[in-house]
Every structure is written in C-alpha cells, then in structure tokens.
Structure 1
Amino acid sequence: MPELAEVSRIVHFIRQHLVGKTLTKVSTQNDDIVYGKAGTSGSDFQKAMQGKKIASAGQQGKYFWIAMDSPPHALMHFGMAGWLKIRDADTYYYRTDKPADKEWPPKYWKFLLETDGTPVTEAAFVDFRRLSRIRLVDCPAEEIRKYSPLKENGPDPVVDKDVVTQEWLAQKLRSKRVPIKALLLDQANISGIGNWMGDEILYHAKIHPEQYSNTLGDDQIKELNSAIHYVCSTSVDLLADSDKFPEDWLFKHRWSKGKKNSTSALPNGEKIVFLTVGGRTSAVVPSVQKKTGPVSKDINGDDSSAAQGESKRKRATKEESNTPVKEEEEEEEPKPKRAGSKRQSKQSLKSEEEVKPEVSPVGRRRSTRTRK
C-alpha cells in the first residue's frame, strides 16, 4: 500500500504537472464506496472541480489533497491499491511495462481531469480494489488539516518535524502499553508510517517490534526518533524510488519471503524472520533487534518457515466515518514483481464488506524521471 513516501511522490507530480492550471473537463464514475463512504458522490465531485484552478497540493501522512482556487477541495487517500496517473508522466514508484498501464483512459478510473494550456495535462485517479477514498472538504485551503479526518490523525514526521521530537515521542510511548510496531502503524499516533516503513525504522533503531512501547529506555527512544526522521526523510527525498534506497536498508533484502528455495537474509548472512505484530506481517533481524524488555509474545528467532508458509489472512474492510482511518484494510504490503507479469484482478462490484483481498498489481520499483 502507498505509505508516506509514495504519497509524497504523487504530491510532487501534482505540483509539477497540475498546480496553476484550470480544469476544463472533469469526468467521474459514481462509486458509492470510493466517494459514498467519504460522504460525497461522483457527480458532486465533478460539479465542485469543473472550471476551477488548482492552487496547490499537500499531504499529511497517507492523505493528500488538491486545493482549488476556492472551496471545496479534494482530499484523498489511496487505500491499498489506488493511484493517480498523469498521462505521459512516470508517476508510478515501481517499474511497469504492461501495455494495459499505457492505455488511456486507464481501467478502473474514478475521475479524469483535463487542464487548459498547451499541451493539455490529463490525470486519472484509479483503484481496482475500491479501498481508496475521495472526499470534498469545504474550508479555506490553509485550514484543511483542522478538519476531519486529518485533525484526528497524528503529525506527519516529515511535514511536522518540529512536532515529532524526541520529547514528544517519549511522552507518546510512555503513555501507552502496546507493541511498538503497532504504535507506529496507528495513524492516530503518527501519520504516514505503514508496514515497510515501520519495519525499516525499527531495524535501524535496533528495536524488536513486539516490545511494549512503555518499556523502551531513553537511549532507545533517542535511536527510534532518529530512525523515524532518517527513514521518512530519505525515502521522501528519493521520491519513494527504492532503486535509490541505501544498500544497507532492510527493504532491499526482505522480499524473498515465501519464495521457493529462498532464504531471507542480509548480505552479511544475518537472518530475516517474519512474525505478526498488530495484525501485520513484520520483517525482523533477531541478531540486530534484541528484546530488552517485555514483549507481547515470544517467537522462535530461528523459525521463519512457519511464518513464510502461513497463508494470507482475509480482512474485512472497515466502514469509514469521520473517525481516524488507520488503514487496517491493508494486507501484507505488496512485493516487487517482475515487470510484465499478468494482472489477475477484476474490479469488484460487491460492497466494501465483501471485497476479498487480491494480489496488488505491483512490480519492481522504478525511476522517478518523467518521460520526454
């Protein structure tokens, strides 16, 4: 699922290709889940956007918005498999050479935008799983974060660096007794950290994901704060292009889980094991991430086969309201695949409660350069 870094990437492309332009044509497909569960409709979105000028774009964690020259504004999140495509621009954060990804308009689109100017810019919001949300927020653009659902979510560690400090983090950790990985994934605490980023942060901080948050010592909190800012800022600066991630990141070596005749390990031989924390599969390096206090449960650090052989759990997607969205509808994060693999998904016509998890159409992550 797109996390803080991936969402930051699309905000970058919105600013590059859409900000400052007027929407001369807006087309929508009404979807009573993607729009309806966010309190609006496709036709309402079309009326609100048509003829407006895009003034700016912004982000808080996994949410992003397109601010118009007058209210209301479009506030969105991608769910597990949503994305914003801009025609003739490489907005994807993974490599895709599939002919279907070159089609326009793309499959499973929820809205299409066309701008003024020469050449015209075209954009499309797509989501074959219907777990994304598109809503309208009627307020001054500079106050959008004061409104639901953003106001209920925690600070963004990149946008709100002055808020996410060591002192703030210490207070947050000591006020709760939950596994530290679960705390990081809870969007009400910190916005934007998802499964792979949470694992990367804990690996660099040398903290076991199951250890209770209120048992971390001062030195561990210092390391955790440093790791949060390092991982988040670095991945955002690199526009979520994992080909450019540092070679010593766990991300580079975690994707062999479940593959036949493959062992998950770092280049130095240190083993990567997988366990479930807070309902999510976590990648852990036991030789680095030691347990220094009580944990939610013990695991056998040498036994990754059971976790690797465990089938994916099916999740019932949650009704969305104005309460904080914690993105619990995500499964295990999508793994990079070889470009050109067949997409086997179909857009669901069932209600959100009946949507069954499918394999996300992802491939190897790609360069951020736009095509010329």
Structure 2
Amino acid sequence: MPELAEVSRIVHFIRKHLVGKKLANVQAQHDDIVFGKAGTSAAEFQKAMQGKTIAGAGQQGKYFWITMSSPPHAVMHFGMAGWLKIRNADTYYYRTDKPEDKEWPPKYWKFLLETDEEPKTEAAFVDFRRLARIRLVDCPADEIRKYSPLKENGPDPVADKDTVSNEWLKEKVKSKKVPIKALLLDQANISGIGNWMGDEILYHAKIHPEQYSNTLTDDQIKQLHTSIHYVCDTSVELLADSEKFPEEWLFKHRWGKGKKNKPAVLPNGEKIVYLTVGGRTSAVVPSVQKKTGPVAKDIADEDRKRPAASKEESDPETAEDGAPAKKRTTNGRSKTTVKKEEAEDTKPPKKVKEQSAGKRRSTRLTK
C-alpha cells in the first residue's frame, strides 16, 4: 500500500496542480464503503467541494487532506490500491500502453474534480479494491489534525520531526514488549511507516525485526532514531522514486525472492531471508541484523516459505473490511506485480519494460 513516501508524492502533485484553483465541476459516485464507512456520502462530498477554491494540502503518515476555502475539508486514505490521478501528469510510478489506462475518466473513479481555468486541470480519485476512505472534516483548516481520524494516529516522522526525537522514541519502545517491526507498523505509535519502509529502517539500524522493543539498548534506539529519519526524509525528498534510491538500500535488492537463477542477495553476497513479523512478510539480512536480545519466536536464519496471506499493517481504515492486503507499486514495479502481491509481497516485481515494451517513463520531477 502507499506508505509515507508515496503519499507525500501525491501531496506534491496536489500542491503543484490544484492548490489555488477553483473547482468548477465536482462529481462523486457513492460507494457504501469508500465514502459510507468514513461517515460521508458522495452527495455530501460533491456539495462540500463544488465551487470552492482548493486552499492547501497536507499529510500525516498515510493520511492526506485537501483544505478548501471554507470548511468542511476532505481527508483521505488510499487503503491498499487507491490513488489520485491528475490528467496529463505522471502521478503514478509507471505507465503502460494499454488503451484503458489512458481513458478519462479512469475506471473505478470515486470522485472527479475540474478547475475553472483554461486549460482546466482534471483529477480523479480511483480505487478498484474499495479499501480507501474519503471523509469530510468540518473544522478550521489549521486544526484538522485535532480531529478524527488524524488525532488517533501517532506523529509523522517528517512533518513532526521535532516530536519524533530520540527521547520520545526511547520512551515509546521501552514502554512496550512487542517485536520492534510490529511497533513501527502500528500507526497509533508512529504515522506512515509501512512494510518496505519498516524493513529499510531496521536494516540500516542493524536491528532484527523480531526483537522485543523493550530489550533494545540505548545505542540501538539511537541508531533506530537516526535510521527512521534517514529513510523517511530521503524517500520523501525523492518523491518515492525508487530509481533514485541509494544503491545500497535493501529496497533495491529485496525483490529477488522467487526469481529463477537470482537469489535474494545484496551486491556483496549477503543473503536476504524472509519471515513474518506483525502479520507482514519482512525482508531481513541476518549477517547485519543480528539478534541481541529475546525475540517473539525462535527462527533459523534461513529462507522460509512464504505465508498464504499477509495482513495489513495495524490500521483500522484498511483492516476493517477483512480484505487481504495488496501493495501499491513503486517506480519500476508493474500492475501485474500488484496482483501477485495480494497474498504476499515477497515475489519479485516485473519490470516495466515487460509491460510497456521498454517505454519506461521517468518520474524525476522538480519539487
């Protein structure tokens, strides 16, 4: 699913293409889940947005919002496969040559926005899995984080950098006895960290994902704090463009599992193994991430069979329907891969060229 970095990417596009513009036409198709379970209807959403000017956009972890010239404001969550498309803008991480991918309005749209300028800007919120949530929050724009669902979530490590201090993190991890990976995935603790970001953080911190949080030493917590900010800040600065990620990142090499004649290893030959922590499949480098204290279960440092299904990170917005998890792609991972990741996220992604005859597009944009 879209994590902190991917959501930050779409907030960037909203600010670039929509903020400051008046909405001349708003259409919304009611969905009892996407709108209804968030306590909003399509008609209410359409009425609240029509004719108003988009004043701003913001983010807290996996949630993002569009503030209007007057309340209420739209607060959204992509779930597993939701996204915001902007016509003639490369908001996604890949493209295909399939005619249906160029249709407008796109399939599975939940709402459509059109500005009153010429040429007009058009945007569409899409979600074929219906795990996204769209709601209205009636409050002053600068108080939006004081209201549900944002107030129930932990601080955002990028937006709330000063809050996510070493001392804050030390108190948090010492107060709980859970696998450290599970603690990072719990959005009530810290907002925005999902599966791949959690693995990346723990790899750089040299911490085993199953180790109980309250057994980490002060030095380990300090390194964990450094790694959280390094991974989150870097991926956000790069707009989740994986082609720009540092070559030494685990992300660049974690997708080898299951690929013929290509073992999951780092460039230096260190093996990547897979295990389930907090209901999610985790990529681990045992030679780097050694166990220094009790862990949730005793595992061998060898490759494991992939689980039949994987649960979503602790997030009431996406778990309430009991649907299996499905991960949004990052740059270089195809739609075909997304389907294969519904039950697990350890299979290697197919390259874009397999899907688009080598016509890979760049997502290198100027902020």
The residue that corresponds to 2:325 in the other structure is 331
Between the aligned partners of 2:205 and 2:315, the Cα distance in structure 1 is 32
Distance (Å, rounded) in 1 between the aligned partners of 2:265 and 2:327: 18
Contact 1:84 1:124 in 2 (8 A): yes
Do the aligned partners of residues 219 and 329 (structure 1) sit closer, same or farther apart at CA in structure 2, a change above 3 Å counting? farther
Instruction: Determine if the alignment matches structure 1 residue 72 to structure 2 residue 72.
Output: yes
User: How far 1:298 moved relative to its partner?
Assistant: 1.6
1:94 CA drift (Å): 3.6
Q: Alpha-carbon deviations, 1:198-233, whole Å to 9, x = none?
A: 000000000000000000001100100000000000
Contact in 2 for aligned 1:57/1:65 (Cα 8 Å) = yes
Cα distance 1:318–1:328, how it changes in 2: closer, same or farther (>3 A)? farther
Note closer, same or farther for the CA distance 1:233–1:370 as it changes in structure 2 (3 Å cut). closer
- 1:268 corresponds in structure 2 to 268
Q: CA RMSD in A?
A: 2.8
**1-structure distance, mates of 2:291, 2:336:** 42
Secondary structure of 1:263's match? coil
- Structure 1 unpaired stretches of 5+: 346-355
In structure 2, how many angstroms separate the alpha carbons of the residues matched to 1:100 and 1:115? 24
In structure 2, the gaps of 5 or more residues are: 353-359
Contact conserved, 1:256 with 1:264, CA < 8 A, in 2? yes
**Aligned residues, how many?**
354
- Contact 2:310 2:343 (8 Å CA) reproduced: no
Q: Distance in 2 between matches of 1:6 and 1:344?
A: 15
Aligned partner letter, 2:51: G
Paired position in structure 1 for 2:227? 227
| CA distances 1:339-367 after superposition (whole Å, capped 9, x unpaired) | 7766997xxxxxxxxxx957999965963
| TM-score (normalised: structure 2) | 0.89
Asked whether 1:40 is paired with 2:35, we answer no
Distance 1:269 1:185, change over 3 A: same
Distance 1:10-1:228 versus aligned 2 partners, 3 A rule: same
Task: Give the corresponding residue for 1:130.
Answer: 130
What letter matches 2:363 in structure 1?
T
Contact 1:88 1:370 in 2 (8 A): no
Separation in 2, partners of 1:265, 1:369: 27
Match status 1:140 vs 2:140? yes
What SS class does the counterpart of residue 274 from structure 1 fall into? strand
Per-residue CA deviation, residues 39-91 of structure 1 (Å, 9 max, x unaligned), is 01111100110001000000000000000000000000100000000000000
TM-score (norm 1): 0.88
* CA distance in 1: counterparts of 2:244 and 2:169, whole angstroms: 29
**1:236-283, Cα deviation, whole Å (9 max, x unpaired):** 000000000000000000012233343100010000000000000000
Whole-angstrom CA distance in 2 between matches of 1:266 and 1:69:
50
- 2:365 aligned with 1:367: no
CA drift of 1:333 comes to 3.8
Name the residue aligned to 2:298. 298
| Separation in structure 1 between the aligned mates of residue 250 and residue 262 of structure 2, nearest angstrom | 16
Identity in percent: 73
Provide the C-alpha distance between the structure 2 equivalents of 1:149 and 1:206, rounded to a whole number of angstroms. Answer: 33
- Structure with the bigger RCO (C-alpha within 8 Å, sep 6+) is 1
* One-letter code aligned to 1:65: W
**Offset at residue 119 of structure 1 (A):** 1.0
The reply to whether residue 54 of structure 1 matches residue 54 of structure 2 is yes
Whether contact under 8 Å (1:21, 1:115) holds in the other structure is: yes
Identify if the C-alpha distance between structure 1 residues 212 and 272 changes in structure 2 by more than 3 Å, giving closer, same or farther.
same
- In structure 2, C-alpha distance between the alignment counterparts of 1:64 and 1:212, rounded to whole Å: 31
